[in-house]
Amino acid sequence: MASEKAKELAAKQKAEVKAAKLAKKTSTNPKDWGWFKQVTETYKMTVEADPQAQWILLGAGVGVAVLVSLVGIFLPPWWMWLITGILAGLVTALYVLLNRAKKSTYKRYAGKPGSAEVAFTMLDKKKYEYTAGITATKQLDIVHRVVGPSGIVLVGEGSPARLRAVIGSEAKKHEQVAYGVPVSTVLMGDGEGQVPLDKLADHLKKMPKSIKPVQLTEVKQRLRALDAVRPRVPMPKGPMPSPKGLNRAMRGR
């Protein structure tokens, strides 16, 4: 009897694992994809938005591969340089694809409500944590929050005239629970004094580091309490591509 139950349990577990693998394989969520599918889908999306990208990738990859392989003529063994050239060409092509993918993604979402989240996905998740849409106006001027080494950063997107009052009010609320942790504000846009979408991630990374990881943990807990008493802002639905697969391929899995 025990043996039959063990067999049934084993069969059930096997079926669950198989179903989980199938669900992940057919998933449309980029987070469920392996690095190879991430790269493939990123390539398709990039070429769709930027048809010239395929020729630039081919030229960069083949050019580097040929250049490195030619070294084998002067520094034998030639086969070692041939392998090195091919690998160097692949790495170069992936690097170029990563940059073209970022540009095409920014171009695709520029001007759409909630587009700042595209830039947030480019940040290191181990160092930064973001909350999209902590508050918004009826005209969809949105304020987001990023918590990282530079403290609390409130990022506003929309009309600067309407945002200044909203983001100023949010800054005061956050200062009340921050207890010494710096609260900064950034307006995203193409106007004077604003940070463009494609420069936002780099801007956040370059901000002065002012707090320690221990402080980050404490302030996140206080921010959760602040968020618990406010209604959630409905953010526009849609996939936010991430260079996760490309980054993994670049550094080796």
Pair (207, 186) in one structural domain? yes
> Residue 70, Cβ neighbours under 10 Å: how many?
13
In the chain, the number of structural domains is 2
Helix (H) or strand (E) holding 144: strand 142-148
**Of 67 and 245, the one with more pLDDT:** 67
* Domain residue limits at 187: 116-233
Residue 15: inside a domain: no
CA dihedral 82, 93, 44, 198 (to 10 degrees): 170
Q: What is the pTM of this model?
A: 0.69
Pair (79, 99) in one structural domain? yes
Residue 33 pLDDT? 66
Q: How far apart are CA 164 and CA 166, in angstroms?
A: 6
Q: What is the residue type of 171?
A: A
Q: 92, 109, 126 — which closes off a domain?
A: 109
Q: Report pLDDT digits (tens) over 149-206.
A: 999 999 999 999 899 899 999 999 898 888 888 999 999 988 888 999 989 999 999 9
207 close to 184: Cβ distance less than 8 angstroms: yes
List of long-range contacts for 25-32, beta carbons under 8 Å, 24+ apart: 28/239, 30/239, 30/241, 30/242, 30/244, 30/245, 31/242, 31/244
Q: How far apart are CA 232 and CA 133, in angstroms?
A: 8
Pair (80, 139) in one structural domain? no
Take residue 51 and report the two structure tokens written for it.
């048809």
Pair (103, 167) in one structural domain? no
Pair (145, 78) in one structural domain? no
Residue 193: inside a domain: yes
Residue 17: inside a domain: no
Pair (180, 229) in one structural domain? yes
Pair (228, 121) in one structural domain? yes
Take residue 187 and report the two structure tokens written for it.
């307006």
Residue 229: inside a domain: yes
Residue 153 pLDDT? 95
Pair (48, 88) in one structural domain? yes
Residue 7: inside a domain: no
